[in-house]
Amino acid sequence: MITVEEAYVAVESTVSCLPSETIGLSKAVGRVLANDVHSDVDSPPHNKSVMDGFAVRAADISAGVTEFRVLETIIAGGLPTAKVTQGTTSRIMTGAPLPDGADSVVMIEMSNLGYTDPTPETVTLNVEGRFSAGKHQMARAGNFASGDLIFKANHRIRPVDIGLLAEVGASNVVVWAQPTIAVLPTGDELVDCSQSPAASQIRNSNGPMIRAIAHQWTSSVTDLGIGVDEIADLESKIITGLKHDVLILTGGVSAGTKDLVPEVLASQGVKTIFHKVKVKPGKPIFFGVADRDGGRRCYVFGLPGNPVSSLVGMHLFVSTAVRMMTGVAKAAVRPVRLGAILSRTHETRGNRPTYWPGRKCDVADPRLVKALRWNGSSDLLSLREAEGLIYFSVRESPHEAGAKVEFLPF
Ligand code: AMP
Ligand code: MG
């Protein structure tokens, strides 16, 4: 049985990145850039006014000039035609290019003009407060210049990044492909969540949960239905599953007489990378790989059937594999771990490190986390309150309140 650390290393050294593809910006949120993105424009593209007002020479204002001859009106999207000289000004709108000769803008509120008044031949400007060159204007390329590096390859695109990408003309972006993921829960006792289970049956809670998590990573998630614990049924569903980049099975991977998944996977050419990890819950987890036509591979995860076990397998290892496939920078492929402090004493038993549902519990000290009441790997109720998993190392004695722990947010 390997350790969690060894399992991470096995995933990282087995899984390779998918090819890149070009997609439209409107579909880019959540995708990871495969190339650097540079700007093809200066931002702003010209010295620009950031106020509605009058473009002037700051020296005139400092010299006490208040009466100005108005040369023209410059709107955003227009270009100035006249040079501002001593005693002259041009009316200017927010975003419009500053005319030659002007180095600053006086707000319209400091003029004798109302917002909607037509532009007069002369204007009175009474400036209050400090005023100097550069006031209410922004220099060309003050944000960034044409050619500047805007995003590095392997950056995951967030909604807030889309504006900047649009500004620099990245209407299409080159990103790593998303994996196709197939999900196959197995077990004779399972019925679909739309059904009322008969005695000895339970609803398939894993399948919908795992598909929902997978949907955070890719738009291509295939539901293979529920596999029964029979070779023939598993075989036909696994053959379909192996046509995907990732196949996630749940159930049937441990030591029961009906735990047939590993042998069916082997019969279909899946090479075992590991089977069993020293972790609680989720020990019997299986990871393997199969070659496919066209040189691509299918990475196969067999997660234990209990829902919180399969969640832990998803959170630790399947997510790591998917991040490897989608080009996430090496330092960020494993799940996020935050330093945290235990708010109350907690006892774990057994000889495997434990990932326990937990949550932050004190706004005044965001490092404080508490382990939630939890009945073990079949108990999904505690996840209702959980914000993540608390990692507890193996210890004979209880983990005391105030002890340092790691928190892995969902
Ligand atoms: P197994 O890994 O097949 O031995 O299953 C372990 C436990 O998880 C059993 O109690 C199963 O009934 C339960 N289980 C298996 N698959 C699911 C599922 N898809 N949803 C909810 N519970 C499951
Ligand atoms: Mg089973």
Q: Residue 86, Cβ neighbours under 10 Å: how many?
A: 12
pLDDT band at 341 (very low <50, low <70, confident <90, very high): very high
Tokens 């441990």 -> residue: 254
Nearest residue (by CA) to ligand 1, atom 14, is: 305
250 lines ligand 1 (CB under 6 A): yes
Whether residue 396 has pLDDT greater than 90: no
Whether residue 1 has pLDDT greater than 90: yes
288 lines ligand 1 (CB under 6 A): no
Residue 249 token pair:
């099975």
Distance between terminal CA atoms of the chain? 26
pLDDT band at 162 (very low <50, low <70, confident <90, very high): very high
254 lines ligand 1 (CB under 6 A): yes
Among 284, 282, 283, 287, smallest CA distance to 307 is for 282
Q: What tens digit of pLDDT does each residue of 98-125 get?
A: 999 999 999 999 999 999 999 999 999 9
207 lines ligand 1 (CB under 6 A): yes
Tokens 């995933």 -> residue: 11
Among 321, 218, 225, smallest CA distance to 274 is for 321
273 φ/ψ angles, rounded to the nearest 5 degrees: -100, -50
74 φ/ψ angles, rounded to the nearest 5 degrees: -115, 120
Q: What are residue 184's DSSP bridge partners?
A: 249
Among 78, 83, 310, smallest CA distance to 92 is for 78
Residue 50 token pair:
């950031």
List, as one string, the DSSP characters of 217-265.
T-S-EEE---B-SSHHHHHHHHHHHTTSSEEEEESS-SSSTT--HHHHH
205 lines ligand 1 (CB under 6 A): yes
**Measured distance CA(15)–CA(296) in Å, rounded:** 11
281 lines ligand 1 (CB under 6 A): no
Task: Work out which ligand 1 atom sits closest to the CA atom of 185.
Answer: 19
**Measured distance CA(2)–CA(8) in Å, rounded:** 10
pTM listed for this prediction: 0.85
How large is the average pLDDT for residues 343-369?
93
Q: What is the DSSP letter of 194?
A: T
Q: What tens digit of pLDDT does each residue of 231-250 get?
A: 999 999 999 999 999 999 99
Task: Work out which ligand 1 atom sits closest to the CA atom of 306.
Answer: 8
Residue to substitute in 183, 186, 188, 190 for testing ligand 1 pocket (most ligand atoms within 8 angstroms of CB): 190
Q: What tens digit of pLDDT does each residue of 290-333 get?
A: 999 888 999 999 999 999 999 999 999 999 999 999 989 889 99
CA–centroid distance, residue 139 to ligand 2 (Å):
67
pLDDT band at 362 (very low <50, low <70, confident <90, very high): confident
Give percent of the chain above pLDDT 70: 100
Among 268, 302, 307, smallest CA distance to 285 is for 302
SS (H, E, C) 63-126: CCCCEEEEEEEECCCCCCCCCCCCCEEEEECCCCECCCCCCEEEEHHHECCCCCCCCCCEEEEC
Ligand at shortest distance from the CA of 283: 1
CA–centroid distance, residue 281 to ligand 2 (Å):
16
Mean residue pLDDT across the chain? 96
Vertex 53: Cα angle to 50 and 56 (nearest 5): 95
96 φ/ψ angles, rounded to the nearest 5 degrees: -80, 155
pLDDT of residue 387: 97
